[in-house]
Every structure is written in C-alpha cells, then in structure tokens.
Structure 1
Amino acid sequence: MNSPVVSALLPVVFLIAIGFIAVRAGLIRVEANKDLSNLVFSVLTPALLFRTMSTVHVEQLNFRPLLMYFAAVLLLFMGVFVGKGRDHRAAVLALACTFSNTVMIGIPLISLAYGQAGMVTLLTLVSVHLLVMLTITTVVLEMASARQARLAGQGGQQHMALTVLLALKGGLIHPVPMPIIAGLLFAQTGLVLPEVVDRPLQLLGSAFGPVALVLVGAMLTQVQIGTHLKAALGISLLKNLALPLLVALLGWGLGMAGPTLNVMIVTAALPMGANVFLFAQRYEVAQELVTASLAVSTLLGLLTISLVMALVGWLG
C-alpha cells in the first residue's frame, strides 16, 4: 500500500466501484445518468476549467517540454483519428488514446514519486493540458460534423472556408474551451478572483473528479465489458504504453533527459481521464467502448505505470 502507483489509483477504482454499486442497489436510477452527465459537463467542468486557468500566466511557462509532449500526443491522436475513419467516433477514440488523468491520478502519483521538482513540471503541463487536448478534440469533432453534413448533402454548396469557420465557431462556443479561454484572459489581467466567487468555483471544481468517476461506475452497469474487452484493451495499451513510448523517443531524439523528461513519460503513461467519457456521452458515440476502456485503462495502470516508472528509473 506504500507504492505511489497503488496509492494514486485505488481511490479512482473505489469511486468507480461506488457508482456501480449505487446503481445496482437502486440508489441512482439508470435514467439519471444523462442528467448527471449534463451536470458534470455543463456545470462542474466549466467551474474547474475557469478556476484552474484563472491563475495561469503564459509568460511563466516552460514551453519546450510541453511542445515535445503535445507533439507526441498529436502524432498518436491523428494516427488513431485517421485510422478509425475521421468521424465522431474516431475523434473520441483518439482522445481516449491520448488524454491522461493528470489531476486525480497524476498529482498524487508524481508528488509521491518525484517530489516538489516533479510537481512543478507536472503542474506546468496540467495548466495547459485541458486547453490543448479538449480544444483540439472539440474542433476536430465539429470538423467531423461539418464533413458528415457535407457528405450527407446538407452543406454541399457551402464553401470549405466557411465550413472550417463554422466548425471553429462550434468548437469555441462550447462548455469546454470557453471557460478555458475566459480563465486565461482573466489571468493575464493580474486580477484575483474575489473570495465570494472563488469559493463556489472551488467547491464545484472539487466535485468534478469524484462525481465524474461515480458516473463512470454508474455507466458500467449498462456495459458488458466482455463484449468490448478486446477493443478496450487495445485502446488501453495505446494509452498506457504506446503514448509514453512516443514521448520517450521524441524526448530523447530532441536531446532531453533527466527528471523533466521522466515526469513527462510517466504522465503519458497515466490511465485515461474521465473527460473522454463525457465527450462520448456529449456526442453520443462509442459510449460503451469508452466506458469499458476507462475501467480497463485504470485497472491496467496498476501494472503498466509500475513498469514505465521502473524502466524510466533504470534508464534515467
């Protein structure tokens, strides 16, 4: 129980189990899952994103390791997106293979394993992780919507430039990018949120992780994991092992080494974040597969993170 991997992952497993048991016991109705999803996506998520980004000062960020990390993420994201058909389902599965649980699992794990120096590196990444990952995914999803509309003959005469602009507009006027952008703009003013505003946002943001994971457990009652086990295992292996391998190879290729690169590699090896599940529900695609993959990725993480950390320690 003293292992940082076990200490970080077990609370996540327990919260998912609580949601599963609550539905089985009749404490949460299956019909309420959609309402819970709307609560998380439209209320808790914006509060968390705005408050997180409201203290981020762009000029203080070290962009070199971030650019390396997101270059690896983008390579895998686009590979999965193109390989799976460039539609809504492909975009959500690409996010599933690249979006790490940097907060609920990453923060306690990196803190226990790498101390304060590691936390500085991780929090620099966390400060822009949601902005980059979720904005890219939202824009890609909106582009996929525009593409599918054109293929269906609903926008055949529409100029491509207008299609792109409409997709970008749809990607920005959205419960995810809007609070991120608003928070970043607020941070650049140098102002501080008043306590009467900051405290409610803090409470709402703190509820995001537990409620989202309980919701994942509730959704598992409707999913036959055995049916999706092979596909979920494939997604989990890409997320837990292929992504950290890409980050490591790219980092070494660029001459990076030491604790900063190690933290980036381990962060890439973290299990899938619950935000992927929310996108699957929002766009009503691959919901069962993403739910199964989230559970498999988290459980598999007990082994894969230990393996990655051991290899990083041996090589570093």
Structure 2
Amino acid sequence: MNLAQHPLFVSLTPVFLLIALGYLAGRRGWIRDTAVKDLSNLVFLILIPALLFRTMASVHLEELDLRPVLAYFPVVLLVFFTVVAWRGFSRESVVVAMAGVFSNMVMIGITLAELAYGKPALVTMLTLVSVHAFILLSVGSVVLELVVAREARERGETTPPLWATLGSVIKGTVIHPIPLPILCGLLYAQTGWALPVVVDKPLQLLGSAFGPIALVLVGVSLARTPLAGHWRPALGVSLVKNLLLPLLVGLSAWGLGITGLPLTVMVVAAALPVGANVFLFAQRYDTAQALTTASMGLSTVLALFTLSVVMTAMAWLNPLAG
C-alpha cells in the first residue's frame, strides 16, 4: 500500500488541509475578525447540536459503554491537579493546567474520529464529549473561583458562598450547545422512535457541514495566534497535552480492560490539541491569555506530527481497532 492510500494519511490529510486553508484565509484577510464570531456561533449553536442530536438519537443506553469515561477523566483530573500543585495555587497555574488536559474534541476530534475510524468511533468520542466540557469546565470554574475568593479575602473583600458559584457553573455547563443535544438525543433514542425523514435529512445536512467549517475556523484562529515570547512554556504545555496525556489515558484504559476501537478513540481524543474553551477561561479571569493562545497554536501545529505518531502507534499496538 502506497502512502497516498494509507488509512492514516487518508484520514489526517483532509483535517490538516482544511486547517491550512483556514490559516491561509485568516492570514490573507478573507475571513475578517468580525466574521469569526458569527461563524463560531453557526458552528456551536446550529451545526454541532444537529450532529450531536442526530448521532445520539440512535444510541440506546444499554449499548452505551461508560468505561471510557471512568478511565479517561480520573487521569485528566490527576494531571490537572498535579500541574496546579506544582505551579502553585494561582489563576495562571489553573489556566495552564486546563490547557494541558482540555482537548479540542469538538472542532477536530469528532471529524477526525469519523474520518479515521468510521461512524462507530463516534459513539465513544461523543460519550467523552458529552461529559468532557461538563466535568472540566465545572472543576476549572470552581478552582478558579476558589483562587479569586482567596485573593478577595486577602484584600479584605466579601465573596459569594461556594455553593452559589457551584450551582451557577453546573447550570451553565448543562444548558450548553454540546451536552444538551447529546442528552436530548439519548432521551429520544430511548423512545424507540426513528427520526422522521423531514427532520432527519436537514439534521444530516447540517451535521455534514460541521466538520469542514469547524476545521477552517481552527485555521483562522491559528493565523491570529501570537507565539513570540512564549515558545518555551507553550512547548511544555503542548508536550503534556499531545503526548503525556494520551500515554496516561492509554495505560488507564488498558488497566480497565478496554481494547479495540474504544481504546484507540480514547487515546486519540487525549492526543488532540488544546481546545478553545481554555482561552475563554484565560480571558474571563484575565490571566495567561498570551500563553494560552500560544499553547493552543503550538499544540495544533505539533498535532500534525504527534497525532500521526499516536495514531500509528495505536494501529500497531491495538490492531483490533481496525
């Protein structure tokens, strides 16, 4: 089999070509800053909910394997809290720790999983996606609020109770364009009803548009990412995210007896570059914004090579996934 026909090449090439096209469009000014937010809203508020709902509307709970969640997130949280402890309890350390564990599962992972491993891979990927934002955004928000509260106490200011903050975080992460359509799709699937054609076809068309537009937007964002002055710390974050985390997740999954396609999807999900939600944290809490954007950009560029290495290794170590 020549290189052009190799499954890894066939699945990764479209992903990175679309990202490169978005990068070119961003650098040339074909997609202006004012349009990026509108395109992001199109992806997150219309296209991704359509894809998630339609995919999960055919998944029955008895067929859903929750072992990937049990293997993935304890490792992610262990790495997160280890980085926070190592760097010190501060806003910057929490945001940097989040960058080291928060994967770009939505804009890159979903499309890559389907291209590389087919629709069966989406069940495992979407199982992780369904709780990925909920768990990490909740934990990150609570820890950051604790940091902010400590800073306020040191200044002699009063702060709201932690339970109020926790309630607000949970509400915001459940009523969200990613977890909500997944939960709604799962609930609909339990009725045993098939989606009517007049509903299913528009959802299929919207879901098909998600992948290309999302990947082009990744490239546009990459074109606007400053790396100067932040190479060394960004490289450290990127290596933790792109290589260390998938290694630990793979060992955890193997320890729980997970094999075949679910194991490969979990490791690939962990090897994805830093997700955009981390920058929103940095922006909201006004800390490490330049380092966060540099880490996002560098980890995405490095993913051209690290994802190839991880996927090749998994094809060799876990041939059942093929």
Between the aligned partners of 2:175 and 2:307, the Cα distance in structure 1 is 36
State the SS of the aligned residue for 1:13: helix
| 1:94 partnered with 2:98 | yes
The residue type paired with residue 271 of structure 1 is L
TM-score by length of 2: 0.76
State the SS of the aligned residue for 1:55: coil
Aligned pairs for 1:77-92 (under 5 A) are 77-80=80-83, 85=89, 87=91, 90=94
| 1:25 partnered with 2:28 | yes
Between the aligned partners of 2:86 and 2:207, the Cα distance in structure 1 is 35
| 1:70 partnered with 2:73 | yes
Residue 78 of structure 1 deviates from its aligned partner by: 4.0
The residue type paired with residue 73 of structure 1 is V
Distance change in 2, residues 1:220/1:232 (3 Å): same
Residue 242 of structure 1 deviates from its aligned partner by: 0.7
Name which of 16, 20, 41 aligns with 2:19.
16
State the SS of the aligned residue for 2:276: helix
The residue type paired with residue 50 of structure 1 is F
Distance change in 2, residues 1:294/1:199 (3 Å): farther
Q: Using the TM superposition, name which of 50-59 and 278-287 deviates more.
A: 278-287
Partner of 2:247: 245
Distance change in 2, residues 1:247/1:150 (3 Å): closer
Name which of 146, 152, 175 aligns with 1:173.
175
Residue 60 of structure 1 deviates from its aligned partner by: 0.9
Between the aligned partners of 1:157 and 1:295, the Cα distance in structure 2 is 35
Partner of 1:115: none
State the SS of the aligned residue for 1:225: coil
Distance change in 2, residues 1:167/1:92 (3 Å): farther
Partner of 2:226: 224
The residue type paired with residue 109 of structure 2 is T
Between the aligned partners of 1:211 and 1:89, the Cα distance in structure 2 is 32
8 Å CA contact 1:65, 1:260 repeated in 2: no
Partner of 2:200: 198
Residue 30 of structure 1 deviates from its aligned partner by: 2.3
Residue 128 of structure 1 deviates from its aligned partner by: 0.7
Residue 246 of structure 1 deviates from its aligned partner by: 0.7
Name which of 32, 38, 42 aligns with 2:41.
38
Distance change in 2, residues 1:311/1:202 (3 Å): closer
Provide, for residues 166-202 of structure 1, a one-character-per-residue CA deviation record: whole Å limited to 9, x for no partner: 3222222222322222222222222222222222222
Residue 223 of structure 1 deviates from its aligned partner by: 2.2
Between the aligned partners of 1:257 and 1:186, the Cα distance in structure 2 is 28
Between the aligned partners of 1:139 and 1:293, the Cα distance in structure 2 is 21
Residue 66 of structure 1 deviates from its aligned partner by: 4.2
Between the aligned partners of 2:174 and 2:96, the Cα distance in structure 1 is 17
Distance change in 2, residues 1:28/1:193 (3 Å): same
8 Å CA contact 2:84, 2:97 repeated in 1: yes
8 Å CA contact 1:46, 1:175 repeated in 2: yes
8 Å CA contact 2:20, 2:216 repeated in 1: yes
Aligned pairs for 1:1-316 (under 5 A) are 1-80=4-83, 85=89, 87=91, 90=94, 94=98, 97-99=101-103, 100=105, 101-110=108-117, 120=120, 122-140=121-139, 142-143=141-142, 147=146, 150=149, 152=152, 156=158, 158-254=160-256, 256=257, 259=260, 263-264=264-265, 266-268=267-269, 270-272=271-273, 276-277=275-276, 280-281=279-280, 284=283, 289=291, 292-309=294-311, 311-312=313-314
* Structure 1: segments with no counterpart, 5+ residues: 112-118
8 Å CA contact 2:50, 2:204 repeated in 1: yes
Between the aligned partners of 2:281 and 2:46, the Cα distance in structure 1 is 14
8 Å CA contact 1:78, 1:94 repeated in 2: no
* Structure 2: segments with no counterpart, 5+ residues: none
Residue 306 of structure 1 deviates from its aligned partner by: 4.3
Q: What is the root-mean-square deviation of aligned Cα atoms in Å?
A: 3.5
Distance change in 2, residues 1:238/1:279 (3 Å): closer
Between the aligned partners of 2:41 and 2:258, the Cα distance in structure 1 is 42
